Structure 1
């Protein structure tokens, strides 16, 4: 039986990735490893593997995170000075989602979405 899916994204520097995701409210989950990072916020886990030669402009890593209270989340990111993607400010989409997007330090695109009722 499948119970969860956990995104695994590339990172160049563990400390840089950790510092960025702490601003989003994530904390370290489980054990720490030299070249691997596991983070958690609420019921969501994200994993990161070291890829020192990653070229951020060539990174196509992406995840879509469903959320509730998206306006509150968006405003908390603004207050914490998390840069919003230039084309990803909070907006209602034709596919009945309200969304916004950010890029992490390695250009992984993180999109947050909430269903419009």
Structure 2
């Protein structure tokens, strides 16, 4: 019966979050209306929602999303080509648990990890 999951992450500034996800990562705004303090973005069927939390201390934010892909190398290279900053400890590598992964931090320190089964 379950059909999808849309994680909700905190954001301090809607415009900064929107710029990062749309301008840098290639998501689109998928909200039916422009609600104050709320943002919905989508890319290739992956939807992420954001709620305003102006008092958020990014150093204390532990928001995380794991996104699976079927072209980890291509995605990683496209982000490098677009000069998207990769997490300092999250460059593309094969992990001991059999996943090839890399990570990004958004403007509010939400961790986005992208992964594909290592073949």
TM-score after normalising by structure 1: 0.97
Rounded Cα–Cα distance in structure 1 between residues aligned with 2:30 and 2:113: 21
| Distance apart, 1:30 and its partner CA | 2.7
**Aligned residue pair count:** 117
Aligned to 2:21: 21
What secondary structure is seen at the aligned counterpart in 2 of 1:85?
coil
**Secondary structure in 1 aligned to 2:62?**
coil
Could you tell me how far 1:15 is from its partner in structure 2? 0.5
- Structure 2 portions without partners, runs of 5+: none
Q: Describe how 1:7-18 pairs up with structure 2 within 5 A.
A: 7-18=7-18
Q: Match of 1:6? A: 6
Please show how residues 1-117 of structure 1 align to structure 2 within 5 Å. Answer: 1-22=1-22, 23-31=24-32, 32-117=34-119
Q: Within 2, Cα distance between the matches of 1:112 and 1:20?
A: 16
Q: Distance in 2 between matches of 1:81 and 1:19?
A: 14
Distance 2:85 2:65 in 1: 17
Runs of 4+ aligned structure 1 residues displaced above 4 Å come to none
TM-score under structure 2 normalisation?
A: 0.96
Q: What's the offset of the Cα at 1:2? A: 1.1
Mark the runs of 5 or more structure 1 residues left unpaired by the alignment: none
Secondary structure of the 1:15 match is helix
How well do the aligned residues superpose, as a CA RMSD in angstroms? 0.7
CA deviation vs aligned residue, 1:59-84 (integer Å, no higher than 9, x gap): 00001000011111001111111110
